[in-house]
Structure 1
Amino acid sequence: MKNFLRILSWSMFLLAAFPVFGQNFNLQLRSSLEYPGQTLANICGYTQGGREYALLGASNGMVIVDITNPSNPVNIVQIPGPEGTPNFSSLWKEIKVYQNYAYLTTEAGGGLQIIDLSNLPSPNLNYHSYTGDGAIAGQLDDIHALHIDTKKGFVYLYGGNLLGGAAKVLDLNTDPYNPTYAGTFDALGYIHDGFAENDTLYACHIYSGLLSIVDMSDKQNPVLLGTVQTPGKFTHNSWLTDDHKHILTTDEATPSFVTAYDISDPENIQELDRFSTNDGNGSIGHNTHVLNDWAVTSWYTDGVAIVDAHRPENLVITALYDTWDGTGPDFDGCWGVFPFFPSGTVVASNIPFQGGNGKLFVLTPAYVRACYLEGLVKNGCTGLPMSGATIEVNSGNQWVNTTTGNNGQFKTGQTETGNYVVTVSKPGFQSQTFNVNFVPGEVIELDVTLELENALNIVGTVVDAATQTPLPNAPVVLSSDGVLYNLQTNASGQFTLDCVPSGNYTAITNAWGYLPGSVNFNENGDIKIELEKGYYDDFAFNLGWTTSSNGASTGFWERGEPKGTSSQDEFVNPEFDIADDTGEQCFVTGNSGTDIANDDVDGGSVTLTTPSMKLAGHSDAVLTFWYWFYNGGGQGTPPNDKLEVRVTNGNQTVTVFTENTSASDWRFSDEIHLKDYIAFTDNMQVQFVTADDQPGHLVEAAIDVFRVVPGAVLSTPDIDASALLQVMPNPSATDFAIRYDWPTAQNLTLEVRNALGQLVHTQQLGANTGTAICGNNWPTGVYVATLRDNERQSIPVRLVKQ
């Protein structure tokens, strides 16, 4: 169908020079065009009759720009964008070209827009929208992205309303202007973007953080070949290298990298290397493309980066042009880049995410091969590979300096050629320097052995403080200057570590049935750590807790550093454990850190159980813990799930605690006197149980700073609700002003305990009403304040020290 085209008033577009915002090299700005009132999303290119055209995904529709002369781009026409059911004029548009047709997708809806480019440079072009045929007739509306398998003649559509955002495949072979529906791949749900070639799909499942490889030879019956999780767990796009044995991906969330994988065996995909313009956290990569084994990538606030990927195990940046004057991990800046013009010209698009004018950049690249420096660093004392050694090159290149991995190996490179000095160093070791000659495309192999300046040999023993009995199999962590050594005591309770740099060390240990212990030292000699009896676990060590489930498909209890998930500006899964305990770990239900619904408790219950405790003969045992319980979303209001704490003595199981109120916060259990619930044996265990009951909701739970004190408290004072306790400010970075009022109290005392239950402050109060000032020198963390008289106490109040 012939369509009337609205030809833009090109006086609105500004042709201008562009200031240099970053350290630009090997990419020369030839020209730029600004689009007032419109943003630019992705960008593509088309060549016909010796002329080259940039196709811009502007907010009001596709703009066609003649860039044959890169110094003088000329706008040809803007094709009005399609709008469908969503009809919100989405800023996001993606474009790909097959033969003489451009295919445009948008989340504004309206289906797949197809533009016949064969009449260029005339602005009078035919276009129409495809909304589905056959099994999807009239159903195709909003679409996020697309890719075209040009070898086989199929377009893959990603995201959008239809089929849960799975890949929809259209056949272009018979009539590219009127495609036909061929099939789908929906086994892994939503696909954000992907790469397709020769009937193989490399799909990016952004919300599950996966790249999947799929055999699409039979469009009705795709075969999943393999998957891999990308570093940022927010897989955005992918592109094959020229040998088709490797692929590059981007993550559109920090940590954000261009990551290289060996996919020669799709069932065993191996990560080879990753690259970031800004340490993985300082900026976000968006779309990468591969041309002659150079990866040309749009990096939002860092602009366009070119990386030499012909050795995918060592990705080295070889060109950069910064298109945005801001910095940080934001979504302003370079959205798209297209490097495939016959002339070599590169075009890039800026999107001002927070509002403003979109901008086209026309660039001329200088493609150069990297100079490589690779090797192995060993510890001269032990002969073992050395992690954390620093490799520095005096070239001034901000990306070349690196450190060795756990295997002692390093791989780096730069574009600067010629002679430079390489320094290999690590604190406590004698540095070494080497003169090297960097040559493009060549690898310098540098194997180094660093000798200790002063060696320390550590011998220690972990014992029971009361009996001096050695404790076998106790985990021990030694730390010095941020370096950790994980050890374990032998059958004699002994741990050893030879040939480490001299310095100040801390040894921390714990064992089930004991309280944690530590010691500081800085010289050779025998070290003894004495552990007091008690039941305490802040999960810095694996002390033998067990997990089980009943019908649940996800959200299993696991020990680790929590990875927060959020909904409506509040955490569903915690981001941090309790402050001021040892380490940063806790037990949490599911910890993928991806979408809120991907790893919460689903379809059943999950149980976390302590090792056995010997409590027979004790008159009481006081249980305390910090817990997280979030319950929301899903179906039915209010949510109907809960967190239960049960205690078993081997013969009987009772519930001692129930929480069915959701909160996006850590909460303290208060003291639970187990004598009130169950008879004590030497086979006592505590169980933490949470479940996703029907109808389903979001369910997340976590446990930290678990403690049972046998016989520590024989009786609990009665709580007097008339005792008033107010704290200001709270949280506080300095003092707390604790106002109290308890007219009937006698011998009034203020007590403050830390998260471990330890008394950190006690104060005899001379009057029944007043203000107590305390806390200025307390470490950051959570505390509990209580008023006590002879036989009563106030309701505890939580204090947060910043």
Structure 2
Amino acid sequence: MSENRFMCSRAAVAAAAALAAVLCGTAQAQLNNQDWRKLADPGAPIYGQPIVGPIVARDGDAGGFPASNITLLSWLPLDQFPNEQHSANDCWGYVSPSGREYILLGLQSGFSVLEVTNPVSPVQIGFIPGNGSVWRDIKVIGHYAYGVSEGGLGIQVIDLSDVDNGNVRHVTNKTQSGHSSTHNIIANPDSGYVYLSGANIGNGGLIAVSLANPEDPIIAGAWTSRYVHDAQVVTYTEGPYAGREIAYCFTGRRGLDVVDVTNKNNMFRIGSTTYAGTAYCHQGWLSEDRQFLFTNDEMDEGGAFNQTTTHVIDVSNPASPSEVTTFSTGLTSTDHNLYVLGNLAFQANYTSGLRIFDISDPFNAEEIAYLDTQPNGNAVGYHGAWSTYPYLPSGTIAISDIERGLFLLRLGESGINFDFPEPLPVALRPGLTQTVRTTPFADGVTLDPDSVTLVLDTGNGPTPVTMTDAGDGTFEAALPPGECFQTYEFYFTAQDTEGRFYIQPFNAPIDGGYIAAVQTGDEDLFADDFNSDAGWLVEGDNVTSGGWARVTPVQGNSVEPDSDADGSGLAFVTGTTPGESLFGGPAILTSPKFDLSATPHATISYRAWYNIDGNLAPNLFVEISNNDGITWSDVTSHAPESGWRDAEFVVADLVTPTDAVRIRFRANNVVGNAIVEAGVDAVVVNTPTCNPCIADYDGSGTVNTQDVLAFLNDFTGSTEIGDPDLNGDGEVNTLDFLAFLNLFVAGCD
């Protein structure tokens, strides 16, 4: 007798029937689990600049994502997580005793724990590594999280008791009775049990796990009649099922099974149902009164139904469930996971993102909000929003997106926006204090006036400055005097009376705030509209057609520019004739040499065109050299997009300015199965100028009455020697005149 058969016999003799089913049952999960389809259609991770909101949905958009009646708080792409994550999966939440809020996000190689108390700035607190897998699932009971994966390791126990202090403890990877891989984990906090579904033991059925010792989960029994893909398990407190623990099991092509799991040694089915078009009953959630079960079928879209369909099942009698109605988003996408909070259903529907329905009347459900995390279509398939978590007390909602990572949002378009009574300064005068003003206005919320803050970085890190209420809803703060060529970066924040956080500009500080430089003017060192030959070098030994050429652009195909960018007539584009596409490559366009050795603050700006038709080709790459082209450093790359776009960068941010600076533009179409069109125009090398002594207005080196006359001429508009708007408020008035007089009296050192 083999050792395994001997163990099974002993288990049977011990009369632990349920446990024996776990130990001896042949794992049949793969026969019923249709998730191999995801592996057959993998999606590449979509990285991007993180978004810091809040961004209120306006005109069907929030931060570049289709949206309605939501406020996007933040987006954290996959490249913001450790260990080169290529996909995300499940998400769940945790609230510490202090009230701080956390999201637990499943990733390809583990679980990330993020604090989202300030949802516009999620902070990763810890990472629990695991075997690589597309599938993870995680739930929380008490201050412990329990994670599973189809990659193995059993149950990962995670202690969150000290998470407020930045500590997440990986307690153990608990394997037992041959258990290693699991598709989903279900939690019933009322009973203190978690349940495994789709595991590699017990026929892939429902496995009950006791948390009597929360750091040592122990299998207590199983229902193994069939594969269970997912479940919701609840304890009834009233009615004929009071005191009984009931599991609503979603069993794929077999529909819904309702199982009494009160006695872990004797779990039994009390009811079951299918519905018209049952293809793969995947997951669902009860209404809060437990009269209805809202169910998604992961394979009926594109089959029995041509639109995303939610099946509403009457479970007022759990022993006799039956479908009573359906409702739809009207889109074609596949649905995946949904959860119910109050009278709202939150649906993660893959390629159509998060859809929120009012289900107060299940027979007339109405979509009230959405955020489409996959803006490029609503096709049937397994890309996009995997799951959602809507239960944080603050109202923050999480979406886990397979290719795009973590989104945080809230329902509704209320919030605080910032107006500015005068233009914000972009140039500051040396030695002068500059006042900035904002008028925050609240829409649907109440502003906390003590929270209005200017966050200012003068070069030593961001410092919050509480703004003063100046009356009439205006708040003001001072930018301190600076020295020539110093750069200030600043942004504005405020909170409502519920403690929700708002920021302007919306993606500060990740994308940067408002920029103001201490200078008195600027000078173009080089400006090329390409109407004459300024010495640009065209290379492309492997270009078979469509190399760089200085011509008048004429559109000859759908992705080619129909004009130059600056209106001068000429530009560098790929191809000398209309419709001539780039083939081969790389095609390289290199600038003449710039001497920037005496201009450490120089910037380079240009306008670029890059668009394609067909299979994806590499981006348009921009590079810079400070040794006359011997070595090159990356500046940026431009992805395909219709239209001319503006770009600018500070040379010193990338290389040390020397007397041998060049830039170059590189495009190619080596595969040759796409139409590729690139263009460059309006290249400008500029440097700021600064006179540290504003009183010496005419720049003669001496402060005298000639400076007063020069200022007055500029003040009245007779001349343009300098800029008489000394306080930088966008207006020339008596305040500027008084400022100049004060500077004139003080003189210069």
TM over 0.5: no
- The structure whose residues are more often helix, as a share, is 2
Q: TM-score range by the shorter chain?
A: 0.3 to 0.5
Query: Bigger relative contact order, structure 1 or 2, given CA contacts below 8 A and separation 6+?
Result: 2
TM-score normalised per structure 2: 0.43
TM-score by length of 1: 0.41
